[in-house]
């Protein structure tokens, strides 16, 4: 009998997911009861879910069994770990304490050097006190004639105690004691080490208040002068605020770039703010004083025999009826030099009708002055003159009954009694003293 070999085909190799799908392929479970056959289909996801539940239950059963069996051993292991952590923490605290003790020892060793530096700061503070006293004296002489900030109180020449309210420098020099003498005992606490610096901080705070009070006094005094100067301008019908805004006043022989003052420069925001405010008030007062000084406040003659006719209503010397006299007549020697009462620009110089030979000068702020009945004029129109410049010679020209000077002051074209200006001159001197 002839045998025929047949070659069986090798099964194809399956991949991982193909094997998984093969293992969890769809299965059917047949159930036979009373001649009837029924089946339940198990889909792949049901099989996977069932396997997961089985393995989870087995894992939980194993974990619970281990915990119950080895509970005491696990608790003992946790206690050993906590004990070891506590030992490590205590070792760390001990190391930190050792480091702190070392720092304290170094601080005690450097106490003398530390106090020497504090004394150097104290010396700088003493220099600041002296500067403050000079500043106080400067303002007292220049701006505070009737009011002065209290001088710094004198300190004791003996060392102060550690519980004293603070260090107060002596007036006119340094105290004899130093912080090295005051804190000769080694520092035992942080508070004792900070005590010298706390004393200086209190002293510096007191100095700041002194400077604030000083600058407040200066600002208040300047405000009083500003108000007083404003009233003087009001008496002449002038607005002090507008005059200050238009003023071209500049200090003499000063210059340099503008650098604003900041709190960092002064070292105190309060003092810097007060200084800025006081400076503005002082400048305004200085401008108003300058503008008042530029008014025609002085006499046009060096020597006056008498005033032959005052400002206001009088009996006219020619018509013998009452008339308005718009100036003041000064009696003096014929040919006496007539001087300007304030600086300005000559607007008229020559014959002017009833005035005879007359010179008119325009000053700032709408003010003009007239010098009439001159025997000769010494200036020309357009010429700028200063106070005290000779503009002419006293004479008897024009509508005049004898040698004299007719002097007028006008504000915005209206005549005003020159006596008002002379009274203002005395008032300015009293305010500025």
Q: For residue 163, is it left (φ>0), alpha (ψ between -120 and 50) or beta? A: alpha
Q: Are residues 140 and 288 in the same domain?
A: yes
Q: Are residues 224 and 369 in the same domain?
A: no
Q: Are residues 231 and 149 in the same domain?
A: yes
Pairwise CA distance, residues 346 & 340, whole Å: 10
For residues 397-423, average pLDDT? 91
Residue 298 exposed, middle or buried by CB count within 10 Å (0-12, 13-18, 19+): middle
Q: Are residues 380 and 336 in the same domain?
A: yes
Both tokens of 92, joined, read 């760390």
Confidence (pLDDT) at 184: 67
Q: Is residue 57 a part of any domain in this protein? A: yes
Q: Is residue 135 a part of any domain in this protein? A: yes
Q: For residue 246, is it left (φ>0), alpha (ψ between -120 and 50) or beta? A: alpha
> Which residue's structure tokens are 């004296």?
137
Last residue of a domain, one of 29, 48, 66: 66
Q: Are residues 221 and 196 in the same domain?
A: yes
pLDDT: is 340 or 13 the higher one? 340
Ranked by mean pLDDT, which of 94-103, 175-184, 383-392 comes out on top?
383-392
Q: Is residue 313 a part of any domain in this protein? A: yes
Both tokens of 127, joined, read 């220099």
pLDDT at residue 65 greater than cutoff 90: no
Pairwise CA distance, residues 9 & 432, whole Å: 130
Pairwise CA distance, residues 293 & 277, whole Å: 24
Contact assessment for residue 332 and residue 344, using Cβ atoms and an 8 Å cutoff: no
Average pLDDT, the chain: 76
Pairwise CA distance, residues 405 & 373, whole Å: 6
How many other C-beta atoms can be found within 10 angstroms of the C-beta atom of residue 152? 19
pLDDT confidence bin for 360, thresholds 50/70/90: very high
DSSP 151: P
Contact assessment for residue 195 and residue 162, using Cβ atoms and an 8 Å cutoff: yes
Q: Are residues 278 and 333 in the same domain?
A: no
Beta strand 384-385 with 344-351 is antiparallel
CA dihedral (376, 382, 388, 391) in degrees, to 10, reads 0
Confidence (pLDDT) at 210: 76
Q: Are residues 239 and 323 in the same domain?
A: no
C-alpha pair distances (Å), 30 with each of 110, 272, 427: 98, 102, 131
pLDDT confidence bin for 377, thresholds 50/70/90: very high
pLDDT at residue 347 greater than cutoff 90: yes
> pLDDT per residue over 168-218, tens digit each?
444 433 455 566 667 667 766 667 777 777 777 777 666 777 777 778 888
Beta strand 384-385 with 367-377 is unpaired
187-191, long-range: CB within 8 Å, 24+ apart, which pairs?
187/107, 187/108, 187/111
Q: Is residue 285 a part of any domain in this protein? A: yes
Q: Which of 419, 289, 312, 296 is nearest to 361 (CA)?
A: 296
How many other C-beta atoms can be found within 10 angstroms of the C-beta atom of residue 1? 2
Both tokens of 383, joined, read 């010429």
- DSSP strand E in 63-126: where? none
Task: Report the b/e string of 13-42 with b at 16+ CB within 10 A.
Answer: eeeeeeeeeeebeeeeeeeeeeeeeeeeee
For residues 320-339, average pLDDT? 89
Contact assessment for residue 342 and residue 295, using Cβ atoms and an 8 Å cutoff: yes
For residues 86-93, average pLDDT? 81
Confidence (pLDDT) at 105: 63
CATH of the domain at 353: 2.70.70.10
Q: Are residues 289 and 324 in the same domain?
A: no
Pairwise CA distance, residues 266 & 391, whole Å: 51
Q: Is residue 379 a part of any domain in this protein? A: yes
pLDDT at residue 244 greater than cutoff 60: yes
Q: Are residues 142 and 275 in the same domain?
A: yes
pLDDT at residue 331 greater than cutoff 80: yes
Q: Are residues 266 and 408 in the same domain?
A: no
Confidence (pLDDT) at 425: 83
Q: Are residues 148 and 263 in the same domain?
A: yes
Q: 157 is in which domain, residue-wise?
A: 124-252+259-293
Q: Is residue 108 a part of any domain in this protein? A: no
Task: Report the b/e string of 103-140 with b at 16+ CB within 10 A.
Answer: ebeeeeeebeebbeebbeebeebbebbbebbeebeebb
Q: Are residues 381 and 411 in the same domain?
A: yes
Q: Would you mind telling me the total number of residues written for the chain in this entry?
A: 433
pLDDT confidence bin for 134, thresholds 50/70/90: low
């Amino acid at each position: 009998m002839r045998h025929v070999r047949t070659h069986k085909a090798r099964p194809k190799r399956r991949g991982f997911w193909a094997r998984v799908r093969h293992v969890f392929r769809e299965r059917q479970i047949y159930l036979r009861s009373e001649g009837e056959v029924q089946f339940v289909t198990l889909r792949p996801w049901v099989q996977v879910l069932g396997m997961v539940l089985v393995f989870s239950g087995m894992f939980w059963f194993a974990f619970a069994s281990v915990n119950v069996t080895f509970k005491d051993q696990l608790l003992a292991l946790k206690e050993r770990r906590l004990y070891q952590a506590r030992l490590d923490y205590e070792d760390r605290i001990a190391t930190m304490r050792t480091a702190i003790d070392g720092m304290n020892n170094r601080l005690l060793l450097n106490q003398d050097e530390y106090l020497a530096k504090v004394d150097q700061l104290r010396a700088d503070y003493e220099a600041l006190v002296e500067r403050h006293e000079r500043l106080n004296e400067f303002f007292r002489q220049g701006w505070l004639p009737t009011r002065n900030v209290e001088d710094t109180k004198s300190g004791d020449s003996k060392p102060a105690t550690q519980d004293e309210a603070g260090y107060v420098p002596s007036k006119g020099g340094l105290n004899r004691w130093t912080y090295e003498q005051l804190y000769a005992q080694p520092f035992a606490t942080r508070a004792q080490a900070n005590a010298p610096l706390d004393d200086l901080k209190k002293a510096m705070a007191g100095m700041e208040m002194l400077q604030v009070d000083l600058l407040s006094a200066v600002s208040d005094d300047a405000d009083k002068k500003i108000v007083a100067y404003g009233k003087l301008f009001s008496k002449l019908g002038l607005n002090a605020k507008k005059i200050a805004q238009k003023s071209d006043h500049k200090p003499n022989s000063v210059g340099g770039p503008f650098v604003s003052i900041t709190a960092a420069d002064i070292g105190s925001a309060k003092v810097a703010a007060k200084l800025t405010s006081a400076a503005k008030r002082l400048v305004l007062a200085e401008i108003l004083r300058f503008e008042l000084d530029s008014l025609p406040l002085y006499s046009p003659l060096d020597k006056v025999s008498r005033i032959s006719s005052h400002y206001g209503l009088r009996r006219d010397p020619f018509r013998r009826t009452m008339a308005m006299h718009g100036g003041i007549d000064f009696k003096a020697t014929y040919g006496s030099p007539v001087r300007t009462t304030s600086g300005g620009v000559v607007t008229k110089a020559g014959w002017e009708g009833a005035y005879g030979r007359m010179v008119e000068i325009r000053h700032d702020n709408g003010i003009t002055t007239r010098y009439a009945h001159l025997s000769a004029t010494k200036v020309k129109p357009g010429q700028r003159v200063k106070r005290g410049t000779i503009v002419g010679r006293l004479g008897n020209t024009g509508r005049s009954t004898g040698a004299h000077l007719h002097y007028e002051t006008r504000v915005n074209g209206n005549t005003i009694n020159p006596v008002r200006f002379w009274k203002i001159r005395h008032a300015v001197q009293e305010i500025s003293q």
